[in-house]
Amino acid sequence: MEDIIKKEVVVAKFGGSSLSDTCQFNKVREIVLADSRRRYIIPSAPGKRDVSDFKITDILYLCHEHVQKGVPFDEVYKIIIGRYLQLCEELNITFDMLGSLTDLKEKIISGASVDYVASRGEYLNGLILAEYLGVEFIDAAEIIIFKKSGQLDEEATYKAVSNRLSKVEKAVIPGFYGATLKGEIKTFSRGGSDITGAIIAKSVQAMVYENWTDVSGFLMADPRIVENPKHIEEITYKELRELSYMGANVFHEEAIFPVKKDGIPINIKNTNKPLDEGTYIVDDKSIVKVGDITGISGKKDFTVISIEKTLMKREKGFHRRILSILESNDVSFEHIPSGLDSVSLIIDDSQLGDKLEKILEEIERQCSPDSLIVYPNMALVAVVGKGMIRTKGISGKVFGALAKADINIRMINQGSNELSIIVGVENEDFENAIRAIYSAFKSKVK
């Protein structure tokens, strides 16, 4: 019975670019109508219509910021009014959008919370989409339940969603936010409508969670770096997690968790090319991969703190002291490769902020190293692939490609799950490193 239910429900989340104007709304309606199993629809706020345009969410944050600084925001707010009124007019929406926008402006002026203000982009877009599709609107504040701390209350949420939806044939549920039991609106982090979609998919045990965006899924490498990279048809949750963490950001990395446990596949689809297969994100058991790599991603701007001390391994608590220094400075690290008498801390610059001097001084004081050297401007490149574990020579090929491109490798890390090989290179070698690795593998990639 469970399985039958699973096979009849599709949850479809549409991102901001899929709902940026009337033409996009039309495409969304066609997609929804094309398959009656698409029963629960999760919209983002309207996104950019072109590169020079604004995302409604960004403007909402800006309005809130203006109020905090005591600066009038009428001009900025006009952009929001213009976008929503145009949508309502062109789509023949009958509800009083101007009234809602006037109320919202009042609330922003009287100091509404930043989460409340930001969430209205999805809320208002949800109202429009529900009327346009002729389906029920369910306010996410009723069913996506947050704890006072701002964290999702998973158990309460799954229960509330499945109860509420059990008798609802079709509904639009805005993404990105929910509320505490006291009714205080809370949002997920940016891009969080993906998480709402995943929560709904899990709660109703959907057969698939479709995530509609403006690209036909994942590519093996960033197309701004590699020309025409190959498309990834299928990827496991874990591989995707590694790729997203390292910078491939089509999908919110936290949105994997709700569906992963129940093995609900995620299908990244393109609203502008709905017939493209997209990329399927599935669980480990569903694909048997041999050979090659799935994708390459990476990030720039890491700092390496290299610590040397003879016989450090014999000094009990040496590493603990180093890690406590990071902890007390509220800094987390990416990797800690170590040698016989050395250990390096690889830290994302955004974590480090202006704390480097203080951290160095504390390491000096508490660990008395023989040498303490800082190497800034490092980039990390991750070569990800589930098939690696059973294939010989992958790392040889990665290192060979980098050597041939005359790129110096500064760090190597391969996790014990053999899902990825991570290499550290100079920031300035980053793009070349990705291109070199990609071309070494592209001929064999399936």
| Choice from 126, 174, 178, 192 touching ligand ASP (CB under 6 A) | 192
Question: By CB under 6 A, is residue 55 in contact with ligand ASP?
Answer: yes
Q: Of 16 and 387, which CB lies nearer to ligand ASP in the complex structure?
A: 16
Positions in 231-260 near ligand ASP (CB under 6 A): none
Contact letters (x/-) for ligand ASP, 194-213, by CB under 6 A? x-------------------
Question: By CB under 6 A, is residue 190 in contact with ligand ASP?
Answer: yes
Minimum distance, C-beta of residue 45 to ligand ASP, in the bound complex (Å): 4
Q: What is the 3-state secondary structure (H, E, C) of the chain?
A: CHHHHHHHCEEEEECHHHHCCHHHHHHHHHHHHHCCCEEEEEECCCCCCCCCCCCHHHHHHHHHHHHHCCCCCHHHHHHHHHHHHHHHHHCCCCCCHHHHHHHHHHHHHCCCCHHHHHHHHHHHHHHHHHHHHCCEECCHHHHCEECCCCCECHHHHHHHHHHHHCCCCCEECCCCEEEECCCCEEECCCCCHHHHHHHHHHHCCCCEEEEEECCCCCECCCCCCCCCCCECCEEEHHHHHHHHHCCCCCCCHHHHHHHHCCCCCEEEEECCCCCCCCEEEECHHHCCCCCCCCEEEEEEEEEEEEEECCCHHHCCCHHHHHHHHHHHCCCCCCECCECCCEEEEEEEHHHHCCCHHHHHHHHHHHHCCCEEEEEEEEEEEEEECHHHHHCCCHHHHHHHHHHHCCCCCCEEEECCCCCEEEEEEEHHHHHHHHHHHHHHHHHHCC
| Choice from 63, 88, 146, 175 touching ligand ASP (CB under 6 A) | 175
* # residues near ligand ASP by CB under 6 A: 13
From 155-163, 188-196, 211-219, 254-262, span contacting ligand ASP (CB under 6 A): 188-196
Q: Of 16 and 178, which CB lies nearer to ligand ASP in the complex structure?
A: 16
Question: By CB under 6 A, is residue 44 in contact with ligand ASP?
Answer: yes
Minimum distance, C-beta of residue 98 to ligand ASP, in the bound complex (Å): 22
| Choice from 9, 19, 32, 45 touching ligand ASP (CB under 6 A) | 45
Question: By CB under 6 A, is residue 191 in contact with ligand ASP?
Answer: yes
Closest chain position to ligand ASP (CB): 193
Q: Of 45 and 433, which CB lies nearer to ligand ASP in the complex structure?
A: 45
From 2-10, 186-194, 255-263, 404-412, span contacting ligand ASP (CB under 6 A): 186-194
Minimum distance, C-beta of residue 294 to ligand ASP, in the bound complex (Å): 25
From 192-200, 207-215, 299-307, 423-431, span contacting ligand ASP (CB under 6 A): 192-200
Question: By CB under 6 A, is residue 57 in contact with ligand ASP?
Answer: yes
Task: Report the interface residues with ligand ASP, using CB under 6 A.
Answer: 16, 44-45, 55, 57, 121, 175-176, 190-194
